[in-house]
Amino acid sequence: MTSDLDTAEEAPSERRRRRIFRVRLWIGTGLYVLASVALYQWGHGNSPWRLIWAVLPLLFMVWVVTVTVLRVRQMDEYQVKLFFPGLAVGFTVTIFASVTVGTLSAAGFTVPNAGWPVAIVGIVAWEFTNLLTRAPRA
């Protein structure tokens, strides 16, 4: 049974937290893309700056991870309950994909840029589980 009081409107503080998270996430992601472009442009060859260009995108990934952890810490108990199955499935699938790539490599089958497929498989598994559990939108 619904009433006029059952609107789909979010609580203001929740909306504010979500907006802040999205701004921080997009800033981190944007800087990661810029750093990756710089790595592609100047990170090759024997330049002494090569290591700096290679590490720079990782700093912004640390930023994205930090922002995500902060967001999870803001979640209430029910949101956390919905959030963790996705994380658990994503983690398990990522480990399985890593072991699969390792086993293939041991057998002589090289998988080019193997880190990216492993990451993508893990993220897709995470997001798919979030859809099933109706985990809160970030």
Asked if 84 contacts 115 with a C-beta cutoff of 8 angstroms, the reply is no
> Which residue in the set 45, 73, 78, 113 belongs to the binding site for another protein (CB under 8 A)?
78
Determine, following the binding rule CB under 8 A, whether residue 131 of this chain makes contact with another protein: no
Determine, following the binding rule CB under 8 A, whether residue 41 of this chain makes contact with another protein: no
Determine, following the binding rule CB under 8 A, whether residue 127 of this chain makes contact with another protein: no
Size of the site for another protein (CB under 8 A): 17
**What is the closest distance, in whole angstroms, from the C-beta atom of residue 12 to another protein in the complex?**
6
Report the alpha-carbon distance of residue 38 to residue 90 in Å, rounded. 30
Determine, following the binding rule CB under 8 A, whether residue 109 of this chain makes contact with another protein: no
> Which residue in the set 25, 96, 114, 136 belongs to the binding site for another protein (CB under 8 A)?
136
Determine, following the binding rule CB under 8 A, whether residue 73 of this chain makes contact with another protein: no
Long-range pairs for 21-29 at CB < 8 Å and ≥24 separation? 21/67, 21/70, 21/71, 21/74, 21/138, 22/138, 24/63, 24/67, 25/64, 25/67, 25/68, 25/138, 27/63, 28/60, 28/61, 28/63, 28/64, 28/67, 29/60, 29/64
Residue pointed to by tokens 């609107």: 7
**What is the closest distance, in whole angstroms, from the C-beta atom of residue 135 to another protein in the complex?**
10
**What is the closest distance, in whole angstroms, from the C-beta atom of residue 20 to another protein in the complex?**
15
Query: Which residues make up the interface to another protein (CB under 8 A)?
Result: 3, 5-7, 9-14, 75-79, 81, 136
